[in-house]
Chain A
Amino acid sequence: MSLTLDQLDYLKNTIIEREFEIDLLNAYVNKDPLISSSCTIIYGYKSIGKTFTTLKFLETLGVDFSVINCDVCLNKLSLLRKCYDIIVEKTVGNKKKKHHEIPLINSVAALISAIEVLPNIDDTHHFFVLDRFDKCFETTNELLASFSKLRESSSIKSISIIVILEGNIPNEVVTFSLPKIYFKPYKEEQLIKILQMDELSGNDLESGEELFNQFVKLIVNAFYQYTGSDLTKLYDVMHKLWPRFIEPVESGRINSNELVKLYQENIELFINENVLCNWDIIDFAIKLIEEDTNNDDKETENDLITEGGGNVHDLPTHSKFFLIASYLASYGHPKNDLHKYSKVKVVKYKQRHSSPTKSPKKKLHMTKGDIDSRMLSAAHCDLERILAILNVIYKNHSISLNHSDKENLLYIDDEIVDNEEKKEVEKSKFTLTKNIDLNSQVATLYSLGFLSKTASSDILGARVRWKCNLNWKTAARLAKSIDVPINDYLMDEFN
Chain B
Amino acid sequence: MDGKTHYWVKRDKKRKQSDFDSVFESLTNQKKLKTNDTPFLNLFNGLETDENVKFRYGMFQRIWSHQLVKIQSILNNANNELFNNLLEFLKTPKSDKLDIGYVQLTSNTANNFRILNEFYNYITDKLDYKIVKLNSKNCVNIKSALREVVKQAGKVQTGKLNYDLDNIKGDERIVVVLEDTNLTNNQVLNQLLKILAAHDLQLKVILGLSCYTVTSWINSNLSDDLNLSTKGYKFKSNDNKSLGYIILNNLFLTPELNDDNPLLIEKKLSTIILSRFENANNSVDSLISEIKLCYMICFYQSPLSILLAKDEFSELYIDGLRKLPSFKKYIEIQLYDKRDVKEIFDSVEELFKSTKLKYKKFKLTIMNAINVIYDIDPKRSKEKFELYKLLINNKLLNSKYLNDCINNLNNYTNEALSVILQNIGKDCKEEIEGVQDEFFIEFNKTLSRRNLSETLQVYFNNDLLTTPLEYMLFNEVFTMNGGTLSSTSLFEENFENLMIKLLRPNLRETVESSLESPETYLGNPLLGDEPVIAPTLSYLYKIYKEAPVSINMYDFFQAYKSVVPRVIRTDDETWHKMVYSWFLQNCAELMHLGLLQMKPKGDYLEKALWKGV
> Using a CB–CB distance below 8 Å, which chain A residues touch chain B?
69, 71-72, 74-75, 77-78, 81, 97-98, 100, 102, 137, 232-233, 236, 277, 279-285, 287-288, 304-306, 308-312, 314-319, 382, 384-385, 387-388, 391, 400-401, 405, 407-411, 419, 422-423, 426-427, 430-431, 433-441, 444, 447-450, 458, 460-463
Q: A282-B232, A284-B234, A317-B279 given as contacts; is B490 within 8 A of A312 (CB)?
A: no
* Complex contacts, B594 vs chain A, CB 8 Å: 460-462
CB distance from B279 to the nearest CB of A (A): 4
Chain A contacts for B216, CB-based, 8 A: 306, 308-310
Residues of chain B with a CB closer than 8 A to A98's CB: 158
Q: Which chain A residue has the least Cβ–Cβ distance from B501?
A: A435
Interface presence of B106 (CB below 8 A): yes
B195-216 interface bits toward A, Cβ cutoff 8 Å, 1 = contact, 0 = none:
1001100000000001111111
Given contacts A408-B401, A410-B399, 16 further A-B contacts (CB under 8 A): A74-B142, A75-B143, A81-B164, A97-B159, A279-B215, A310-B213, A314-B107, A314-B211, A314-B241, A401-B491, A405-B395, A408-B400, A423-B490, A426-B494, A437-B504, A461-B594
Closest to A308 in B: B216
24 of the cross-chain contacts (CB-CB < 8 Å) are: A72-B165, A72-B199, A74-B142, A77-B161, A78-B161, A78-B164, A277-B227, A279-B218, A279-B232, A281-B233, A281-B234, A284-B86, A284-B101, A285-B235, A305-B215, A306-B213, A311-B211, A317-B278, A317-B280, A401-B493, A409-B395, A444-B108, A461-B591, A462-B591
Asked whether, in the complex, the Cβ of B231 is within 8 Å of the Cβ of A280, the reply is yes
Expressed in whole angstroms, the minimum distance between the Cβ of B58 and any Cβ of chain A is: 34
Interface residues on B, range: 35 or more
Q: With the chains together, A460 CA to B195 CA distance in Å?
A: 37
| Cα–Cα distance between A270 and B594 once the two chains are bound (Å) | 58
Question: Nearest Cβ distance between residue B183 and chain A, in whole angstroms?
Answer: 5
When the two chains form the complex, which single residue of B215, B491, B596 contacts A304, counting CB atoms closer than 8 Å? B215
Pair A318/B506 contact, Cβ less than 8 Å: no
Any chain A CB within 8 A of the CB of B536?
Answer: no
Determine the chain A residues whose CB is within 8 A of the CB of B217 once the complex forms.
310
- A387 near B240 with CB under 8 A, answer no
Determine whether the beta carbon of B398 is less than 8 Å from that of A411.
yes
Tell me, yes or no, whether B109 is within 8 Å of chain A by CB.
yes
B104 at the A/B interface (Cβ < 8 Å)? yes
Partner of A316, one of B281, B508, B596, B613: B281
Closest chain B CB from A385 CB (angstroms): 8
Given contacts A232-B228, A284-B101, is CB(A314)–CB(B280) below 8 Å? no
Residues from chain B with Cβ under 8 Å of A311 in the complex = 104, 107, 211-213
CB–CB B281/A441 < 8 A = yes
Asked if B522 is at the interface (CB within 8 A of a chain A CB), the reply is no
Task: Provide the B480-514 mask, 1 if CB < 8 A to any CB of A, else 0.
Answer: 00000000011111100000000011111100000
A401–B489 Cα distance when bound, in Å, is 12
Which single residue of chain A is at the shortest CB-CB distance from B184? A449
**A232 proximity list for chain B (CB < 8 A):** 228
**Is B279 within 8 A of A400, CB to CB?**
yes
CA gap between A461 and B593 in the complex, in Å: 7
The stretch from B32-40, B321-329, B572-580, B604-612 touching chain A is B604-612
**Which of B210, B219, B401, B489 is most buried by chain A, counting CB atoms within 10 A of its CB?**
B210
B380 CB to nearest A CB, Å: 16
B586 within 8 A of A: no
Q: B276: CB under 8 A from chain A? A: yes
Contact status A435-B504, CB under 8 Å: yes
Distance, CA A462 to CA B142, complexed state (A): 31
Bound state CA distance, A104 and B472, in angstroms? 83
Bound complex: CA of A290 vs CA of B596, how far in Å? 61
Q: Which residues of B contact A304 (CB under 8 A)?
A: 215, 234
Q: Encode B580-613 as 1/0 by CB contact (under 8 A) with A.
A: 0000000000011111110000000000111011
Assess whether B159 is in contact with A102, with CB atoms less than 8 Å apart.
yes
State the CA gap A53–B183 with chains docked (Å). 42
CA distance A304 to B104 in the complex (A): 14
B491 contacts A426, CB within 8 Å?
yes
Residues of B close to A283: CB separation below 8 A:
233-236
* A240 CB → nearest B CB, Å: 11
In angstroms, Cα B278 to Cα A441, docked, is: 13
Residues in B with CB closer than 8 Å to A447 are 109, 180, 182-183
A428 smallest CB distance to B (angstroms): 10
Which residues of the partner chain B approach A312 to less than 8 Å between Cβ atoms? 107, 211
Please tell me if the beta carbons of A318 and B198 are within 8 angstroms of each other in the complex: no
For the complex, give the distance between the alpha carbons of A439 and B511 in Å: 15
* Residue of A98, A282, A435 with highest tally of chain B CB at under 10 A: A435
B161/A437 in contact, CB under 8 A: no
Specify the chain A residue showing the minimal Cβ separation from B609.
A384
Whole-angstrom distance between the Cβ of A304 and the nearest chain B Cβ:
6
| Cross-chain contact A69 with B198 (CB below 8 angstroms) | yes
On chain B, the residues within 8 Å of A277 by CB distance are: 219, 224, 227
Quick one: which of B142, B401, B491 has the most chain A CB within 10 A? B491
C-alpha spacing A448/B105, complex, angstroms: 11
Q: If A102-B159, A277-B219, A279-B219 touch, does A284 touch B505 (CB 8 Å cutoff)?
A: no
Taking the closest CB of chain A, its distance from the CB of B399, in whole angstroms, is 5
Nearest-CB distance from B89 to chain A (Å)?
6
- Are the CB atoms of B491 and A427 closer together than 8 Å? yes
Complex: A102 Cα to B97 Cα, angstroms: 34
Contacts of B261 in A (CB 8 A): none
Flag whether B275 is at the interface (Cβ < 8 A): yes
A71 touches B198 (CB 8 A): yes
Report A-chain residues with C-beta under 8 Å of the C-beta of B45.
none
State whether A460 and B592 are in contact (beta carbons under 8 Å apart), knowing that A281-B233, A316-B281 are contacts in the complex.
Answer: yes
* B281, A314: Cβ atoms closer than 8 Å: no
Q: How far is the CA of A440 from the CA of B282 in the complex (A)?
A: 12
Q: CA separation between A72 and B199, bound complex, in Å? A: 8
List the 6 shortest-distance A-B pairs measured between CB atoms, nearest first: A462-B608, A449-B182, A462-B597, A316-B282, A437-B280, A281-B232
CB-CB under 8 A for A281 and B507, given A384-B609, A426-B490: no
Q: Within the complex, what minimum Cβ distance (angstroms) separates B596 from chain A?
A: 7
- Minimum Cβ distance to chain A for residue B407 (Å): 12
Query: Which single residue of chain B is at the shortest CB-CB distance from A428?
Result: B612
B60 within 8 A of partner (CB): no
A81 touches B275 (CB 8 A): no
Closest to A100 in B: B159
Instruction: Check if B491 sits within 8 Å of A400, measured CB to CB.
Output: yes
How far does the Cβ of A289 sit from chain B's closest Cβ, in whole Å? 11
Are A400 and B595 in touch, CB under 8 angstroms? no
| Contact partner, A419, options B234, B276, B490, B508, Cβ 8 Å | B490
A437 and B613 within 8 A (CB): no
B367 at the interface (CB under 8 A from A): no
B194 located at the interface, meaning its Cβ lies under 8 Å from any Cβ of chain A in the complex: yes
B484 to chain A minimum Cβ distance, whole angstroms, is 18
B608 touches A137 (CB 8 A): no
Cβ contact of B211, chosen from A74, A316, A439, A450, cutoff 8 A: A450
Nearest A residue (CB) for B229: A232
The residue among A277, A385, A449, A463 with the most chain B CB atoms within 10 A of its own CB is: A449
Query: What A residues does B247 contact at CB under 8 A?
Result: none
Q: How far is the CB of A490 from chain B (nearest CB, A)?
A: 21
The closest CB in chain A to the CB of B593 belongs to A460
Establish whether residues B228 and A233, one from each chain, have CB atoms under 8 Å apart when the complex forms.
Answer: yes
Q: Chain A residues with Cβ under 8 A from B343's Cβ?
A: none
Within the assembled complex, what's the spacing in Å between the Cα atoms of A317 and B278? 7
